[in-house]
């Protein structure tokens, strides 16, 4: 039996009549489903920084709507661009969306188009990657409808594989320290009746050793031109473990996340989150809290995009 492969729930809603952006507050899931409203570029930028909305494609879409609101309400457009561009540094989709929209006469029209296109490209990406995923699939962070315009990248590949009738079981890493896996991916899987088991990040090696994992799949926030891939902290660990256990490791990569101007992973800026998001009880204890790590290209089996599947033998450059 085929499954309905898209979530009915969307994390990003825009009203042209009121020039208002409504974002599902992902910090409150799964306990509470609450939409917050935003009416200025600065408010939208704050929502991105505070992770009301997250996931590289969703950040780009949200920033585009922020520019559209600024244009419609007569804000200083240079300032709107500046605050939105500075909201989070690692995801390249943010700058991609802002640069695509900044010179448009009707930014609202283009923002709506970027949102619509993202859902379509996710379905193409998912279709291209479905063939690789059967059995136990280990997944980090959240790469689904919450992280994108809809359907998802890595989770979109999982949805598309299930829609083909493949027998598949998701193992969701909790994804410390912000728990996007345990809060968001499990919630999406529950909503869409996707078979799912939650694990702590530190259980991944034992799970792989047990023979239950046939593939590892992750999204990405920025891919350098040589294939080095920045994604949620902990992705690099999974890639090293997958290599040792002989398990293929796939990246769901929208082409907007490929930064051709960035030579290697060493050139990707890595955001550090506030210490309090990890631990704050003891003032004399330092905290290192990077939000992302970089997986070297040599550890990646393939990058699955809406344009096709990239491998070392079939590379984009």
Task: Please provide the distance, in angstroms rounded to a whole number, between the alpha carbons at the two ends of the chain.
Answer: 40
Token pair of 89, please?
A: 């540094």
- Distance CA(244)–CA(250), nearest Å, equals 15
* Phi and psi angles of residue 138, each rounded to the nearest 5 degrees, phi first: -90, 135
Residue 114's contacts (CB-CB under 8 Å, 6 or more residues apart) are 60, 61, 64, 97, 100, 101
Q: Crossing angle for the helix pair 92-101 and 77-85, nearest 10 degrees?
A: 160
Q: Dihedrals φ, ψ of 303, to 5°?
A: -110, 120
Taking the C-alpha atoms of residue 31 and residue 51, their distance in angstroms, rounded to an integer, is: 16
In this structure, is the dihedral angle defined by the CA atoms of residues 256, 267, 279 and 189, taken in order, positive or negative? positive
| Bridging pattern class, strands 20-24 and 35-38 | antiparallel
Q: Under a CB-based contact definition with an 8 Å cutoff, are residues 303 and 227 in contact?
A: yes
| Active-site residue, selected from the candidate residues 118, 192, 221, 293 | 221
221 is catalytic: yes
* Angle, alpha carbons 58-311-135 (nearest 5°): 70
> What are φ and ψ of residue 129, in 5° steps?
-100, -10
Query: 102, 115, 151: which is closest to 252 by C-alpha?
Result: 151
**Catalytic residue IDs:** 221
């Amino acid at each position: 039996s085929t499954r309905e492969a898209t979530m009915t729930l969307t994390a990003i809603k825009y009203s042209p009549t009121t020039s208002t952006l409504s974002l599902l507050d992902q910090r409150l899931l799964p306990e509470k489903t609450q939409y917050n409203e935003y009416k200025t570029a600065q408010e939208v930028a704050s929502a991105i920084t505070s992770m009301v909305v997250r996931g590289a494609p969703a950040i780009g879409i949200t920033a585009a709507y922020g520019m559209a609101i600024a244009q419609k309400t007569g804000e200083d457009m240079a300032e709107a661009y500046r605050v939105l561009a500075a909201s989070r540094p690692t995801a390249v989709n943010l700058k991609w969306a802002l640069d695509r929209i900044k010179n448009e006469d009707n930014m609202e029209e283009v923002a709506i188009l970027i949102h619509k296109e993202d859902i379509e490209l996710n379905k193409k990406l998912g279709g291209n990657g479905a063939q690789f995923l059967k059995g136990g699939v280990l997944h980090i962070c959240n790469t689904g409808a919450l992280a994108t315009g809809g359907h998802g990248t890595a989770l979109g590949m999982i949805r598309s594989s299930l829609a083909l009738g493949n027998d598949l079981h998701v193992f969701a890493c909790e994804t410390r320290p912000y728990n996007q896996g345990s809060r968001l991916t499990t919630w999406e899987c529950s909503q869409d009746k996707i078979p799912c088991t939650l694990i702590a990040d530190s259980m991944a090696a034992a799970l792989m050793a047990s023979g239950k994992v046939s593939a590892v799949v992750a999204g990405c926030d920025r891919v350098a031109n040589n294939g080095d891939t920045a994604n949620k902290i902990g992705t690099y660990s999974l890639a090293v473990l997958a290599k040792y256990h002989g398990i293929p490791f796939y990246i769901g990569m929208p082409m907007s996340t490929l930064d051709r101007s960035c030579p290697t992973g060493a050139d990707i800026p890595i955001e550090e989150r506030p210490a309090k998001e990890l631990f704050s009880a003891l003032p004399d204890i330092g905290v290192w809290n990077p939000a992302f790590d970089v997986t070297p290209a040599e550890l990646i089996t393939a990058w699955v995009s809406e344009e096709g599947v990239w491998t070392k033998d079939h590379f984009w450059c």
